[in-house]
Chains A and B, each alone.
Chain A
Amino acid sequence: MIQVKNLTFSYTKKPFIKDMNFSVNEGEIFGFLGPSGAGKSTLQKILLGMLPGYRGSAIVGGMECREHGSEFYQSIGVDFEYSTMYEKLSARENLEFFSSLYDKRARSIDELLMAVGLENDADKRVSDFSKGMKSRLNFIKALVHDPKLLFLDEPTSGLDPANNRLMKDMILEEKKRGKTILLTTHNMQDATELCDRVAFIVGGQIYAMDSPHNLIMSKGAAVVTYTWIQNGEQTASCELEKMSEDKQLQELIAKNQLQSIHSSEPTLNDIFMEITGRTLV
């Protein structure tokens, strides 16, 4: 669906995106992870055809990004991080208006509103919506024309835990429907849960690219931490794969003296810090 080769872009004389190479397969959720100013949004704009002055190649849906016309957007859905709605119109009117800009109208507005729990607020003005409600509405606005490729920019930002879950389930549902999804986020937990592959971007460069599971497993070992009572509470740790070599642990197990034991894997954020030397959270 997307092939990027030797992509370089600059706002000034200094390169902002440097020699990027990656591809995104059809039906995949691909995450761009990086701190603010890393180049994620610029990359998204290049792929959306909004910054044609790049060097190298960026092909989306078989077409070079700098060459496509406005019809290209028939099959693209974009959920910006901020609201892009007419505040004086209702949720339903906004969806009807924006869907009228596309040739294809494949999704039922009522079903989409219901899917994000806004069916009872459909006729309320958007100006009366909370930030979370606007985020959900913005998301379904990107789906009204049933696009093949979705660009999601911080889709769970500002959502409460229940709606965060609902949004992630909807994103996974869209993947099941065959959509290719490009996700830009700071949220490592969301990326781990949603993305088939992620790319760590810092300073306009990709530092690592793989599935979240492979990144976690290749760079860090799971650790087991256990506690027992001996002149107060004592704590010790060992690597999961070396548990059988830990004599103290075996002895505590044999004597039933363990107070607690748990394993912990490094998070994607730990891996990001290790690889890039930067943090996102």
Chain B
Amino acid sequence: MRRWLNLFIWNMRFQARYGFYLLYAFLTIFYTVVLFALPITWRGKTAAMLIFSDPAAMGLFFMGAIVLLEKSQRVTAFFAITPLKAFEYVLSKVLSLNAIALVVAGVLAYVSGSRQVFLVLVGTFLSGAIFTLFGVLVATKITSLNQFILFTVPVEAAGFLPAILHLFGITPDYLKYYPANACMDLVSGRGVTFIGLLFTVALIIFLFYFACHEMLRMWQEQGGAKI
């Protein structure tokens, strides 16, 4: 637990050093200005789209950069011969990136006049976990930023498109319990069905297990153990 907590704190320090906090401070101000510029009736849905497509999805974009950086500096090779467990690493990445996402989402929800800030935060947390775990999975497979951008396109299409359509009430029956739609329900403060929530949590558990497995494999390969 102590090791995990240390890693979580160090991740936040890395993110601060690499300018994540500064970037999101700027983006939060920018999004706030955009929201204030819109008519009050538009703010709720716009805020939901902004939250879902940026702070909640930031893990998908940034995990590639983070893991590529660690790979290039061979830090990941060293992790393979330390007591660090893959689940501690993945969990610390998911939670540290989600910490930024929650603050930004909280501010945007408040600014948009949402009365369901708690639901928005739960939705941001769940969608942030899904996107970051997908980001981890893609990052373990790639060797360049170009590859990462290419590999994340299907994830973005499958994540954003149905959820944004769902926000505007266009939902095919077979996507009723789709996790991205369930997350969008929460992010827009509408609440979620039990089955939708169950599917979302099940997807997160599956992705987490798979991401840990692939991360460990990547560390070992980085250490030269590819067979």
Which A residues are closer than 8 A to B by beta carbons?
11, 41, 45, 48, 50-51, 53, 70-74, 76, 78, 80, 82-89, 97-98, 100-103
Contacts and interface: CB of A to CB of B under 8 A. Distances in A.
B10 A71 contact: no
A98 B10 CA distance: 10
Interface in B1-26: 2-3, 6-7, 10, 14, 17-18
Given A80-B78, A84-B75, A85-B75, A101 B225 contact: no
B73 interface: yes
Contact of B223 (A50, A53, A72): A50
B213 interface: no
Contact of B3 (A76, A83, A101): A101
A131 to B, nearest CB: 14
B227 interface: yes
Interface string B68-89: 0010011101111111110000
Contacts of B73: 83-87
Nearest to B72: A87
Given A71-B83, A83-B73, A100-B3, A45 B10 contact: no
Interface in B184-227: 220, 223-225, 227
Given A70-B83, A88-B17, A100-B3, A11 B227 contact: yes
Nearest to A94: B75
Contact of A45 (B2, B6, B18, B225): B225
A88 B224 CA distance: 24
Nearest to A93: B13
A151 to B, nearest CB: 8
A100 B2 CA distance: 9
The 3 closest A-B pairs by CB, nearest first: A84-B78, A100-B6, A50-B225
B75 A86 contact: yes
Given A88-B17, A101-B84, A45 B223 contact: yes
Contacts of B7: 100-101
A159 to B, nearest CB: 19
Contact of A84 (B74, B84, B225): B74
Contacts of A98: 78, 82
Nearest to B226: A11
A78 B74 contact: no
Given A73-B81, A73-B82, A84-B78, A103 B225 contact: no
Contacts of B10: 97, 100
Interface size class for chain B?
20 to 34
25 contacts: A11-B227, A45-B223, A45-B224, A48-B81, A48-B223, A50-B80, A50-B224, A50-B225, A70-B85, A73-B81, A73-B83, A80-B77, A80-B78, A83-B73, A83-B74, A84-B74, A84-B78, A88-B18, A89-B14, A98-B78, A100-B3, A101-B82, A101-B84, A102-B82, A103-B3
A76 B54 CA distance: 42
Contacts of A84: 73-75, 77-78
A41 B226 CA distance: 13
User: Which has the most chain A C-beta neighbours within 10 Å: B2, B3, B6, B83?
Assistant: B83
Contacts of A74: 83
User: Which has the most chain B C-beta neighbours within 10 Å: A53, A84, A88, A89?
Assistant: A84
A103 B17 CA distance: 26
B224 A89 contact: no
A102 B78 CA distance: 13
B20 to A, nearest CB: 13
Contacts of B70: 86
A71 B83 CA distance: 5
Contacts of B17: 88-89
Contact of A82 (B14, B74, B79, B84): B74
Contacts of A41: 224
B13 to A, nearest CB: 8
Interface in B78-125: 78-85
Contacts of A53: 227
Interface in B25-80: 70, 73-75, 77-80
Contacts of B82: 70, 73, 98, 101-102
Contacts of B74: 80, 82-84
Contacts of A73: 81-83
A242 B225 CA distance: 52
A80 B10 CA distance: 23
Contacts of A48: 81, 223
A82 B227 CA distance: 21
Given A73-B81, A84-B74, A98-B78, 14 more contacts: A45-B223, A71-B83, A73-B83, A78-B81, A82-B74, A84-B77, A85-B73, A85-B75, A87-B73, A89-B17, A101-B83, A102-B83, A103-B2, A103-B83
